[in-house]
Amino acid sequence: MINKKLLGLGIILLFAVGLAGAMFVENPVDKEGKLDQKQKMALDGCTSILVGKKASTDGSVMTTHTCDCGVCDWTWRRVPPADHKPDSKRKIYHINQFHTWPPSEGLKWEIYKENFTGLEIPQPDHTYGYLHGMFGYMNDKQVALGESTIGCREEMENPTPSAKFDITMLTLIAMERAKTAREAIKIMGKLAEKHGYGHTDSGEMLAVSDPNEAWIFEIMPVGPLWTPDSGKPGAIWCAQRVPDDHVSVCPNESRIGEIDLDNPDYFMASSNVVSYAVEHGYYDPESGEPFSWKKAYSPTKASATSSKGSRARLWRFFDLMAPSKNFSPDTPNMELPFSVKPDEKVSVYEVMKTTRDHYEGTQFYTARGLQGGAFENPNYLPYGFQLEGKRYKTPRPIGVNRAEYVTVTQCRDWLPDPVGGIVWLAFGAQDTSCFMPLYAGITKIPHSFEIGDHWQFNRNSARWAFDYVDFHTQVVYSHAIKEVRRAQEKWEKSAVERTSTIDEVAEKLYQKDPEEARSFLTDYCINNAHRVIDAWWNLGNHLLVKFNHLWNYDTENRKRKSLEYPDWWLKLLVEYNNMEPEPEKEEK
């Protein structure tokens, strides 16, 4: 028998237009508009993938960041390199990941300067140029980052102003000063220990890479009672290198387990990495058990199965990359490996496609049955829902429809830094967006990348072009996504295939005149972005016309036909509504 209450809910859902799941989401913002830490993690549930140089098809080191927030600032900047006079100081600001301002009040990357912490640190003689969105993503030396919030024990959080650094500020400083991934980690760790870490952030993970290595760097506060005068470190951190022939992922869970600080080629940590756990009762050295970073500071008992798919990304990524290992979804996430050697080497395009995964072909597929509706939409109910006083979880895939943008970085050691580094940027939900290349050597970015806001439609903002397509795709997803995939094939895959040609031209120019090479790369990236943005506005117009009023308009032949509905859905509709078929005509 069919549960008619559940079926009724499903049918209502099927006819809802746009992001229907939002109707069932508990408001993540309180009456004062503030977010508590658990709510922040729910919003900023980012996924970060790491690929070692010997695990990629072309020898590049890759990291990703799905900036899954839904209410955050999506704008980007290119910060130029700079030379500084002796004794210059660098002001440190508190930068809240989540807070935004109405455009009428100004842009975030100017307004944040009103939140001066009172701390100034010595400025080096030279700072590198870099690209940044919510965090720093790549600098002139091909040091690249991705991010994922991992949380920590509640009593470790330090929301007080004594913590001068949050994760955004740390990444910007790393971009300005680091020549390598290891150097970036040491810079961030040292500053956080000396001046305190936390304020608006709890436990965070950064995927830190350069043309040779990829590291997982995890950092946490040390509690609200810490002060600089205590003489103790104001943060606790640990970093582990991903083997060159391996891939790894961070899906909002601490990933570092047992550590070996006698092996500095693969591990780094703060001086209090073990002692803090012992002092606070998180680890007993007399237990005979080896120290585990994640078990001490951010433990979880979930598995893909036990969490009903809400914690399945870790299992899913390893199953996609190394299916031969037959990882079970019943395996507790804490017991899954730090990294794996993929069955086959991974291309940048395959990484892009992985960021769009919805657990297709598994029991956690987010569009299965009623949840996806008649048009197999994988984006309904992204936070689960509450019904009749009970809470229901829904699977949380890598590809969610609340991304501000998604990055895939490539660091390549066989090319000069301005040519070797690429940030592939896709605005909005990666499912319906398009990755565009931004070379490390460019000197500016499109102005449309620098503006925009969730609450005000703006045709001058690049992000709104991709949201325009996404909105029209959600209505009749299974039909509209085919049009989107064709556009991605045309604009995104072709850009990936064109990379080697652009590299070759830019490298030859660089040998003759580095500035000419930078000019060439800047023109290429900006012109490509403009073409893609125009194509997406046109694609949105096309989807609006083609599927207007839930019909299928053949624009070439000027004909209209009905949309196709799957038989299984029609059968459920007939049963729930007690529909009777029309009587058969009697033969004369």
Using only the alpha carbons of the chain, give its radius of gyration.
25
Count of all residues that appear for the chain in the document: 588
Confidence band for 585, pLDDT divided at 50, 70 and 90: confident
Tell me the residue type at 83.
D
- Element containing residue 77 per DSSP (H, E): strand 77-79
- In the prediction, which pLDDT does 588 show? 64
| Poorest-pLDDT segment among 24-38, 203-217, 365-379, 448-462 | 24-38
**Mean pLDDT within 461-490:** 98
Provide the 3-class DSSP secondary structure of residue 120: strand
Q: Is 118 left (phi over 0), alpha (psi -120 to 50) or beta?
A: left
Left if phi > 0, otherwise alpha if psi is -120 to 50, otherwise beta: which for 61?
A: beta
DSSP 276: H
- Predicted local distance difference test score (pLDDT) of residue 8: 42
What are the CA-CA distances from residue 173 to residues 218, 268, 409 (Å)? 16, 19, 19
Chain-wide mean pLDDT for the chain?
A: 92
242 vs 52: CA distance, rounded Å? 7
Mean pLDDT of 416-425: 98
pLDDT band at 38 (very low <50, low <70, confident <90, very high): very low
Angle (CA) 55-60-64 rounded to 5° is 85
Type of residue at 456:
Q
Q: Which of 19-33, 91-105, 404-418 has the lowest mean pLDDT?
A: 19-33
Say what the pLDDT of residue 435 is. 98
Taking residues 486-501, report their average pLDDT.
98
Confidence of residue 586 (pLDDT cuts 50, 70, 90): confident
Confidence category of residue 14, pLDDT binned at 50, 70, 90: very low
Q: Tens of pLDDT along 108-117?
A: 999 999 999 9
Asked whether the beta carbons of 96 and 77 are under 8 A apart, the reply is no
**Average pLDDT, stretch 142-170?**
97
Using an 8 Å Cβ cutoff, are 100 and 73 in contact? yes
Residue 13 has pLDDT above 60, yes or no: no
* Residue 584 pLDDT grade (very low, low, confident, very high; cuts 50, 70, 90): confident
Q: What confidence score (pLDDT) does residue 422 get? A: 98
List, in order, residues 6 or more apart from 361 with CB less than 8 Å away. Answer: none
Could you give the count of Cα atoms lying within 13 Å of 428 in the half-sphere of its Cβ? 20
| 230: amino acid identity, one letter | S
Residue 40 has pLDDT above 50, yes or no: no
pLDDT band at 319 (very low <50, low <70, confident <90, very high): very high
Q: Six-digit token pair at 390?
A: 């009970």
Please check the confidence at residue 478 and state whether its pLDDT lies above 90. yes
Tens digits of per-residue pLDDT, 215-269?
999 999 999 999 999 999 999 999 999 999 999 999 999 999 999 999 999 999 9
In the predicted model, is pLDDT for residue 396 greater than 70?
A: yes
- Residue 280, pLDDT > 70, answer yes
The answer to whether the CB of 215 falls within 8 A of the CB of 14 is no
pLDDT at residue 301 is higher than 70: yes
- Max CA-CA distance within the chain? 103
Distance CA 522, CA 403 (A): 26
Q: How confident is the model at residue 45 (pLDDT cuts 50, 70, 90)?
A: confident
CA 496 from centroid of its chain's CA atoms? 20
* pLDDT confidence bin for 26, thresholds 50/70/90: very low
Angle at 215 between CA 212 and CA 220, to 5 degrees: 155
Q: Give me the amino acid identity at 333.
A: N
Closest CA relative to residue 544, chosen from 474, 459, 456: 474
Contact of 407 with 483, CB cutoff 8 Å:
no
Q: What is the DSSP letter of 547?
A: T
- In sequence order, the 6+-apart residues with CB closer than 8 A to the CB of 357 are 316, 320, 397, 398, 399
Backbone conformation region of residue 455, classed left if phi is above 0, alpha if psi is from -120 to 50, else beta: alpha
At residue 580 the predicted structure's pLDDT band, cuts being 50, 70 and 90, is: very high
> For the whole model, what pTM was predicted?
0.92
Cα(198)–Cα(140) distance, integer angstroms: 28
CB 153 within 8 A of CB 236: no
Write out the DSSP string of 206-259. EEEE-SS-EEEEEEE---TT--GGG-S-S-EEEEEEEPTT-EEEESSS----B-
